[in-house]
Structure formats: C-alpha cells, structure tokens
Amino acid sequence: MALKATVFKVNLQIADMDRGYYQDHQLTLAQHPSETDGRMMVRLLAFILNASETLSFTKGLCVDDEPELWDKSLSGEVDLWIEFGQADEKWLRKASGRAKAVQLFTYGGRSVPIWWKQNQAALERYKNLKVWNIAEESVTAMEALVSRTMSLQVSISEGQVWLSDNEHSVLIEPEILKDYQ
C-alpha cells in the first residue's frame, strides 16, 4: 500500500519591507512521503519570498511537467516557476522557456557549491533565472518550527528573513547565486 502525503496547515503573517508586501495567508501543504521536513520548509520559504495572491503550490513531486510552486496570470501564462534542489540544466531550460521568470532554491549544505561550480556557466545564459541558496544551518533551524498546524510570523528586511512562532525565532539569510539579468 502506498504511503499518503502528510497534510500541514500554515497560518502565515508576512511583513515584507523589501517588497512592501503585508498580507496573511492560510496555506495547506502536502508533504510527500519521501520529502523531509527541511525540504518542505524550503518550499514554504520560497512561498514567503515570492508571496502574492496568485502564487500557489501545485501537485508537486507527483507531476513531471509543472513546478511545485508557481504564479499564473488570469490568462494561464506562467509568470513565475519555482523549483527546488540541485536541478538539472535541461529541466531549467524547459522552465525558462515556459515561464516569464524562474527561481531555483538550492539547499543541501556542502554539495551546493560543487553543483554550482558544475552548472554555473550553463545557467548564466538564462536571463530569466534566479538561483537562491539556503544554508544548511537555516534549513535545520526551520525544521524546529514544523508542526501539523503552524502559525508563523515573517518579517523580511534588507534580505534577512525572520521566521517565528510562539516558541522559536529563526534568522534566514538566503544567498543569491545568480540574479535575473
């Protein structure tokens, strides 16, 4: 029998001073059985950094031809395509051709610099691609916030993200490996 996804309810209060975005979001996150808490929290962080009324999670790991997180226009065009991990250059090329903007959130500690060194030259040609790296310490710290029902407050200022609940507060400083050109 196949394992089912674990469902998490998230109440987010976002105060993003960098973008001038102040909004509350009620989210339902489905965690695939093979997904770690850390990866799920990186997905949530990607939502936070790009939050809008139209940004939404997709079917995720179960579907091969769409991202796990995207922002679509009312006419169905993909404005933002968000991927996670150390993605293949061919997959990012496909995403860059299908969306106005693509973001990749890498995580994984010491393996990221190796992956980046191998792929940087190839990825530089994609003008609509932005690559973030989330430090291993930040991913581990975010795992402390995981519970089936989360109520999180987020404050973003000068590139720093403060993520907190009633018991913990985590500082995340995402590193931009490649920005849009």
User: Which DSSP state fits 61?
Assistant: G
Can you give the three-state secondary structure of 108-148, one letter per residue?
CCCHHHHHHHHHHHHHCCCCCEEEEEECHHHHHHHHCCCCC
pTM of structure: 0.95
Q: Which residues contact 121 (CB under 8 A, 6 or more apart)?
A: none
Residue 64 reports pLDDT greater than 70: no
The tokens 């400083």 sit on which residue? 173
The tokens 């200022």 sit on which residue? 157
Q: Which residues contact 68 (CB under 8 A, 6 or more apart)?
A: 43, 57, 58, 60, 61, 82, 83, 84
Say what the pLDDT of residue 59 is: 75
- Output b/e per residue, 62-84; b: 16+ Cβ within 10 A: eeeeebbbbbbeeeeebebbbbb
Tens of pLDDT, residue by residue over 95-116, are 999 999 999 999 989 999 999 9
What domains are defined for the chain? Answer: 6-151+172-178 (3.10.640.10)
Tens of pLDDT, residue by residue over 26-62, are 999 999 899 999 999 999 999 999 999 999 998 765 5
Do residues 101 and 80 touch, judged by C-beta distance below 8 A? yes
